Amino acid sequence: MKMPMHKVLALGLVTLVTFGSLPLQARSATSQPVPLSGNARPVIEQFLLRQTAGLPGKVGITMDTPISGALPACDSPEPFLPGGARLWGRLSVGVRCHSDQPWTRFVPVYIAVRSVYYVAVQPIPAGHVLTLADATAREGDLTTLPRSVIVDPSQFNGATALNQIASGAPLRRELLRDAVAVQRGQTIRVRTQGAGFVVSAEGKAMTSGAVGALIQVKMQGGTLISGIVGPDGMVERTN
């Protein structure tokens, strides 16, 4: 049976209204991101490479076209980071253009950081003191792992497992208690560096600490100083 024309038009209108009311995310859920093109791309890339120079590992940068469309033409695009943005994983980078018709857009970016990290080679029980044989190196994107994942073997060698760690699990700093390099009451050497000189003197540790920890030391004359425990057991004076 043929549907009357007024019903066909009404059905088409309902369909159009329903689709138009869908969130933009729902309509674009199946669409693939389009890589960013144009003269702003190399400017943004160089900006991000400078900003990520201190990250551990090899940085890879992916930029997509904003959902609003391609960036308008601009002779001197100016990238910037929105307040609170972290150069890690997915983020948005702002781009300004100070032309006759100024504009600001936000470009979707993914920053990958490929580096070596360490995983347990076998189950590690709580209370176990780790050695280099307890972990093996793997390479991966650190932005997909917890920020506390261990990337340097000195961070776990000699540390104690606070909980059981499963075989193959990434080692994380919060799962370990650092090895104590200096015990409270221990006689230690304190190193003081200045402009063109280095001197050391003996003192007594007033607190225990691992490598890299800030501890207090009482010097032979009774002066209380602060210093950072070094890998050689000496304390580097900080005040």
Can you say how many angstroms the Cα of residue 114 is from the centroid of all Cα atoms in its chain? 11
Tokens of 113: 């950081």
Q: What is the mean pLDDT of residues 15-35?
A: 49
Annotation: CATH topology of 180-237: SH3 type barrels. (2.30.30)
Q: What is the mean pLDDT of residues 171-191?
A: 87
Provide the pLDDT confidence category of residue 2 given band limits of 50, 70 and 90: low
Least confident of 5-14, 138-147, 183-192, 215-224: 5-14
What is the C-alpha separation between 146 and 148, in angstroms, rounded?
A: 5
CATH of 114-177, one of 3.50.50.60, 3.90.1210.10, 3.40.50.720, 1.10.10.10: 3.90.1210.10
Determine the pLDDT at residue 17: 37
Determine the pLDDT at residue 43: 95
CA dihedral 44, 47, 53, 55 (to 10 degrees): -50
Tell me, what amino acid is at 23? P
Domain ranges, ordered by start, for the chain: 31-113, 114-177, 180-237
Q: Tell me the pairing of strands 160-161 and 235-237.
A: unpaired
- Per residue in 139-157, pLDDT (tens digit) is 999 999 998 999 989 889 8
